[in-house]
């Protein structure tokens, strides 16, 4: 057993907050281009997840909607 306390778990979304606070003045042109590429990929990943969630919600709504 270790006497060291476990690290506290980061709150959801905290990494994004930390990322937005980084000083971009310290980055070079290539680093900034890479950062933009990574952020664009993350935007696409979030959009794809949103599309899946909307489709699931629409399917559930259609299934549970009373037909008259």
Q: Cα(18)–Cα(2) distance, rounded to whole angstroms?
A: 29
Q: Say whether pTM exceeds 0.85.
A: no
In a domain, 22, yes or no: no
Q: Name the domain count of the chain.
A: 1
Q: How far is CA 36 from CA 14, 27, 42, 67, 68, in A?
A: 19, 12, 10, 48, 51
Q: Is residue 61 part of a domain?
A: yes
**Which domain range does residue 63 map to?**
33-68
Residue 27 belongs to some domain of the structure? no
pLDDT tens, per residue, the chain with 68 residues = 567 777 888 889 999 999 999 999 999 999 999 999 999 999 999 999 999 999 999 999 988 887 76
Decide if 53 is inside a domain.
Answer: yes
């Amino acid at each position: 057993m270790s006497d060291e306390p476990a690290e506290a778990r980061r709150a959801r979304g905290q990494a994004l907050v930390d990322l937005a606070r980084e000083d971009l003045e310290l980055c070079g042109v290539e680093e900034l281009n890479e950062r933009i590429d990574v952020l664009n990929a993350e935007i696409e990943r979030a959009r794809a997840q949103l599309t899946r969630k909307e489709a699931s919600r629409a399917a559930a709504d259609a299934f549970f909607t009373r037909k008259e």
